[in-house]
Amino acid sequence: MKQLTANVYVETRWTSGTHASAGSTSSFVVTSEGVVMIDAPLVPANAIKWREIIAEKGQLLYLINTGCHSDHTSGNYFFPVPVIASEETRKAIPFNLTKDGDQGQKLKRNYPFCAELVEGYHMRLPSLTFSERLTLYAGEHTFELIHLPGHSPGETAVYLPQEKVLFTGDNFANGYQPKVSDCYPLDQLESLRKILDMDVEYYVPGHGDAGDKQAVRTYMAMFQRCVDTVMEAIQKGMTREETMDRVRLPIPEDLIFRHPEPEQLKKDVGRFYDMLSRAK
């Protein structure tokens, strides 16, 4: 866990203990009234550990989900407080937590050492939602929740003006290229432009370490190259199947960016093709 400011704590390097995903970034903010958490750990044992760490800092007041995917929302179950998300995210969570079967059984399979922790597991949906913007006040802190579609239709950024910290969700990933199964590429580029215009010192990504504006620009440039590469294939008249077979997203072959598996990268090309064909 890293303390970014006097009141902001983030964990960007969870481990899973198995071959399965360790999940996304988890964060919390300590206010004079209690603690506000952003995104829940995916691995049940990590969620319990996170709950204990938060309890040492104060009473947990709210949990905010920045997106609908299971690595951000599956752990809601372990935090019995009001969950806040965009209305689009609330609508999408049930599909994302059930598309590969029962989530409780999936957690048992992926993290067998956590089996006892998920007995009685059930989905916890957000109980407070918003469409475009929501302002939450906790003690002396202001939390500005902003709907910024891109990585998912309901993606949300959480801005703390007093701390100059922005939690970006998966619109920004520092050193990673996440799956883009639900991505709207042009919306994501626009959302990245918007967050770069904000008065921010620390950008807390959905995956990877917290970064500065240059880190966001680096990611945005990589993402733009991916869009341009697939758009070029579309303009050449290549079919979806040809593009998926022949085109590789131009993610740097170095240690800066971690890649999805080859089969996922192929699916990602297909998603870019579908979305950019509509926008052409």
Delimit the domains of the chain by residue range: 2-212
Q: Tokens in use for 91? A: 């609508």
The pLDDT value given to residue 254 = 64
Kindly report, residue by residue over 122-140, the tens digit of the pLDDT.
999 999 999 999 999 999 9
Given a contact cutoff of 8 angstroms between Cβ atoms, the answer to whether 123 and 77 are in contact is yes
Helix (H, G, I), strand (E, B), or coil: what is residue 142? strand
**Pairing label, strands 8-11, 2-3:** antiparallel
The pLDDT value given to residue 212 = 97
Helix (H, G, I), strand (E, B), or coil: what is residue 178? coil
Over residues 191-200, the mean pLDDT reads 98
**CA separation for the pair 199, 39 (Å, rounded):** 22
Helix (H, G, I), strand (E, B), or coil: what is residue 47? helix
Q: Which one of 3.60.15.10, 3.90.650.10, 3.50.50.60, 3.30.465.10 gives the CATH number of domain 2-212?
A: 3.60.15.10
Q: Is residue 260's pLDDT more than 80?
A: no
